[in-house]
Chains A and B, each alone.
Chain A
């Protein structure tokens, strides 16, 4: 087991009056007897006398009074106090601490230990994510932290993730948490300006291997120090530092293969069945709707089939005028084209990491270099990255320390459009548009097929060579910290951070490409340069009074400036397909402007603890932001918290079962700023050029008194350890009232606008979180541990402008994939639309519940229903939020062999299937491929008790509305990750001059159990499934070696 390292620097030297004996010994772990390196050994009561154990767990202390008491501590283990009692050798066995109360955690503006921290925070250590092949750390955290939901917007390499900490607290502003790296807020989210083509996640510019720990700050006590940006939680990332001792050179390499998607995703019916469906569609229309004879109906259906597919080499006949005699002949009969093979491949992930780290008394360093390359499942999706990092700190004299962290990374991505785009989305094409009866070549001439297919797809085999896209990000993240120990109790710290992400997007369409043919080829180069400059200065005072009272006070101020420069140059009318540069274009176009915001803050925190039993803290922050008008821009944010170590009380001494118990509670206020930089200003825009003259117009109706959104959160938690801490855990209850929520309030369009931004809405998120940990087996050569996280969050809209409902759409991909409603008292993700009543058995028709007083056509389950969806009222028909979600982790260790399994699960709630509208259609999209699911479940005279209606092409409208028909249960259990690792025994390894070698295999998403099996149950943050690329099953083999 790799030990996590944290070194307490003992810089305060106190002269101990009496010189006595030397004490030596070894510190080992109770669980397996292995030595604990870097454990801290201190002489109680004389601060400054102490040392760390070495790599073999040995320590040596001189000048120890024979009546002294030694304090042994180490992260994750229970601290022990042992009287010297005249001994010179003291060997100590340390037991793990389920509460891990001494574990040092990185929190807002500093560090704390679990036992003293009064807020709600969860930590994920490097170990927990190191084996997962991921481009960005978020993707490895699923199910590991209670209350946090991570969703991936696409299975494409390099895509952005979305994180929700404790529900949804905003309708209009961001719901994403604040990201803080090494003490300063950083750029996060998508950095490409290429619109819907593909997202580019800036977090993937940070090498996950450089991360030491990730802390998620969840309640107000933990996060309020980040003020107006803290309401959605804060993710605090700390990168690795050098450890005292010999320099460590580590090398890690892994290769991952993704040969398939993690689950079925709208698998298509067979080519023959597709043809039958096509015939059936028109035949049904004739026979059932127009009263045609079989002959007429068959003739019409065959006419359509032949008209569409004869040009591809297929001829259709049905001598007896029914589907039973439908035969396919023609030049290509019996042969079908496998588009899936053209569009997808086995993805290959490769990663190489090299790091060198070390530390001496006065300096420490960690440097790393990495290269990662991923060829995605889609043939036009790939990602590559080079990162370099230097973390260096140097003490100057006794009182000053400089720390520099520099991360430089260059990443590049190419991908396809994940939205519902018939021309560009390859996943949609493979499941919905590219008939196996379409071929990339014309069967008569052998030439590439270049026309648009009848289903509106294009021939990707031909067009893939006619366009290209890329999004390259160069990111420099540098911060410099100076720490001055003015007095032993008073520390001054100032951080200056410069974060620059420069993204260059490139999009080219050749004159032959369907998107470039109108303009004879087009090329666009755009450059987005995001600058973030943060200056943060704090003064920290720590004092122990009369050995029982600890007081700590933090004061600070911070300034932040964000400026984004955007430039675009584009050209059309290209001279040659060989040159893909704007310079060669016949016609040029350009755009450039910048935007940004600033913030000034003052912050403070006071902490007090008494006798290691009672803890209290308070924080206050005042923020001023340029995103708000002069009257409203300053806001105050604060928190109060307390905790009580019940287990330290005398009355607990006899309660043997309970080995640890702590209660904590907090209340506080934090905020969310509007997303828009200038939302409070009424603006005139100049985008209405007319006949090459500048044109302008009023573009917004703003409220000059716009304000931030405010969250009022309380949190109560009980932490416990049972049976000598073999079972431990935390139960946490929280409630967050988010008020003054920004709402795009609909206004009469007669005013010239359809909405205006106002602070009106209110949302409540409340829930229970459970984190459980158990040591099931504790043998010296075999350990088995298990952990569980479970969260229940109820997210409710509590107030809206004038009590009026707001109908909104899932914004993903701008394709109106699901309709939601905000209504007072209802869920924040309430699906809204007509309520589908299923299919009438006799006729195979769609039926809808009326939900109003109009005259029903029929009744279903005793309720009035109609055949015409336009007669049915829209109602809330479902909720996306799961009842419970979380993860399940278990680890087995036997000698050098380790096996760990991480599951993620969701229970209750729904997903909304937007793609089903396309591939489970009732006849409207008659030239599209249907899924096997649709084929199997449609109504036919033989299958009258069917799930879905008869397929019949009768009207020019899509009756397949966004109704409850597309809602499916969201429950799933997924083996997110399984790792089998083997650490080669050190006696073997040392023969080849290595200090450690570990081999591992990791499997990601290998097994999934889902309530609805048609598509991958891991959906986006709105619970909807569209045509974004699903995730895959990845098999990774890796080796880690250190010298």
Chain B
């Protein structure tokens, strides 16, 4: 019967309708790109899409976070060949282990932001602007700034090292497929980041927005950027506005451990939602990468804490933050496995070991930015620095609080390492502060010789930034002469 019906249908289509109609077959699960954002509701879908794309394994979903700790000396490898080794060994070249996924994924995301902004502009031109559209515009601008900030730190030299050197191509609208953009200077990229942030800030909501960017997330990113640009006054002002006016509060020592088993805690200024059947990477998730070999099936024990981090933490064995650490495969005495992304009881924040939110900007970081900025002011405010530091340092009850005489930059940076371990910050701080990074290569067993870098590196080492991949150089001859030096 179905057959006959279909036959009759087709025959009548053929006889009655024109050929062109018969040949017009549209997809059932895609929309035409040109007309897919025409109103507020469409813009909201696009923002959701953008946030989801930020949780890609090539970005905040895994690799970016590991990048920040594996290269910063806080992580160590137990065994060769388990995955993402090259981030630790610096085995990078344009042709192998270029980690071009960072480049391609973030630019893909920037396209989404640019496309949304371009379409919002069209809607505005047609006279249909609304408050909600403004909110989405603010989110898109802030997201774009955040992504450029990450890109320029991975591919360009530190701002305070050589801001005239190559940053990354600065793209603010959707490009034609044939475009061959070239790199802007580090300074120009930072300039655009601040422009986007300041343009986006007034458009954004000041209430907490679980899973999305709001006004305070924008301000927190401004604080970070200002810190990297050594605008300490501005960084302190941004941080203090969040601390004083924002709807956030620090976890108490009792709450701290449990905060990793719950979504959207009181410190979360920006937390990316990782949900089952969405960005959940399963056995390839960030959480799994930090679990001890065999803790759960398929846990391979990729990245463990380095001896240096463990020694730092061992200043106080009663530090509440030990609570998130589990012993690693080297010994039941060595607490090198971090469960921030798996949950203390391996049930994450919503019952899954792998679908666990990424707490991208926490109030603790803001306190430490405030402390560091206060100390770095032209006229250091050591009281403030000690005060902000102590709010975090109290998580080590056995350590004496800092005061205006004892507070040092090292204390703040060490605190940041302890508090924000496995949150992707250490490496960028080390580069910014021009510190030597030492790698715990002795932890690897069987012993191997790392040939792609020395045991210690400084920011003079050419591999502190990634190469532009050969694929990009080949497809975009205009950028070929702008490869990072040394590669």
**A-to-B contact residues, CB < 8 Å:** 282, 285, 289-290, 300, 304, 451-452, 478, 496, 498, 514, 517-518, 531, 533, 535, 559, 561, 587, 589, 593-600, 624-626, 630, 633, 677-678, 681-686, 688-701, 703, 746-754, 756, 804-805, 870, 874, 924-925, 953-958
Contacts and interface: CB of A to CB of B under 8 A. Distances in A.
Nearest to A754: B104
Nearest to A624: B23
B30 A685 contact: yes
Nearest to A565: B28
Given A697-B49, A750-B169, A955 B354 contact: no
A674 to B, nearest CB: 13
B464 to A, nearest CB: 19
Given A683-B33, A694-B45, A957-B91, A749 B100 contact: yes
Contacts of B48: 688-691, 693-696
A924 B20 contact: no
Residue among A535, A594, A754 having the largest count of chain B Cβ atoms under 10 Å = A754
B115 interface: yes
A678 B30 contact: yes
5 contacts: A518-B354, A533-B7, A692-B275, A695-B48, A748-B472
B398 interface: no
Contacts of A290: 447, 449
A626 B25 contact: yes
Residue among A518, A598, A703, A751 having the largest count of chain B Cβ atoms under 10 Å = A751
A399 to B, nearest CB: 23
B446 A595 contact: no
Contacts of B33: 681-684, 698-700
B448 A695 contact: no
Given A300-B446, A682-B34, A748 B475 contact: yes
Pairs of residues from A and B, 5 with the lowest C-beta to C-beta distance, nearest first: A752-B111, A695-B48, A956-B80, A748-B476, A695-B49
B298 A698 contact: no
Contacts of A746: 471, 474-475
Contacts of B95: 870, 874
A690 B177 CA distance: 28
B473 to A, nearest CB: 10
B312 interface: no
A805 B80 CA distance: 34
Contacts of B354: 518
B24 to A, nearest CB: 7
A925 B81 CA distance: 8
Nearest to B33: A682
Nearest to B277: A589
Contacts of A682: 32-34
Contacts of A750: 107, 169, 171, 175, 179, 181, 472, 476
A753 B174 CA distance: 11
A805 B471 CA distance: 11
A496 B475 contact: no
B173 to A, nearest CB: 11
B471 A754 contact: yes
B31 A684 contact: yes
B51 interface: yes
Contacts of A756: 177
Nearest to B293: A452
A467 to B, nearest CB: 14
Given A633-B23, A751-B175, A752-B110, A691 B31 contact: no
B225 to A, nearest CB: 21
Contacts of A685: 29-30
Contacts of A805: 474
Contacts of A517: 296-297
A595 B25 CA distance: 9
Nearest to A925: B81
B266 to A, nearest CB: 19
The number of chain B residues touching the other chain, given as a range, is 35 or more
A559 B22 contact: yes
A928 to B, nearest CB: 11
Contacts of A589: 277
Contacts of B22: 559, 561, 598, 600, 626
B275 A691 contact: yes
B30 A751 contact: no
Interface string B60-100: 00000000000000000100110001000101010110001
Interface in B398-431: none
B378 interface: no
B111 A594 contact: no
A749 B96 contact: no
Interface of B: 3, 6-7, 10-11, 14, 19-20, 22-34, 36, 44-53, 55, 77, 80-81, 85, 89, 91, 93, 95-96, 100, 103-104, 107-108, 110-112, 115, 169, 171, 174-181, 210-211, 273, 275-278, 282-283, 294, 296-298, 352-354, 444, 446-451, 469, 471-472, 474-476, 479
A469 to B, nearest CB: 19
Nearest to A746: B475
Nearest to B176: A751
A841 B1 CA distance: 76
Nearest to A573: B351
A282 B447 CA distance: 10
B28 A598 contact: no
B220 to A, nearest CB: 20
A599 B25 CA distance: 10
A699 B46 CA distance: 12
A535 B36 contact: no
Given A626-B22, A956-B91, 17 more contacts: A478-B3, A518-B352, A630-B20, A630-B24, A684-B31, A684-B33, A685-B29, A686-B29, A691-B275, A695-B51, A747-B475, A748-B180, A750-B175, A752-B175, A754-B104, A804-B475, A956-B444
A644 to B, nearest CB: 40
Contact of A451 (B36, B85, B294): B294
A593 B283 contact: no
Contacts of B24: 626, 630
A531 B6 CA distance: 10
B81 A956 contact: yes
Contacts of A748: 175, 179-181, 472, 475-476, 479
Contacts of B10: 533, 535, 559, 561
B179 A696 contact: no
Contacts of A626: 22-25
B45 A686 contact: yes
Contact of A595 (B27, B46, B77): B27
A600 B27 contact: no
Contact of A533 (B6, B28, B298, B471): B6
Contacts of B297: 452, 514, 517-518
Contacts of A598: 22-23, 25
Nearest to A563: B25
A696 B46 contact: yes
Residue among B278, B297, B476 having the largest count of chain A Cβ atoms under 10 Å = B297
Contacts of B479: 748
A611 to B, nearest CB: 42
A690 B210 CA distance: 12
Contact of B111 (A587, A751, A958): A751
B28 A956 contact: no
Contacts of A747: 177-179, 475-476
A625 B107 CA distance: 34
Contacts of A683: 27, 30-33
Residue among A282, A478, A626, A696 having the largest count of chain B Cβ atoms under 10 Å = A696
Given A498-B7, A751-B111, A870-B96, A677 B27 contact: yes
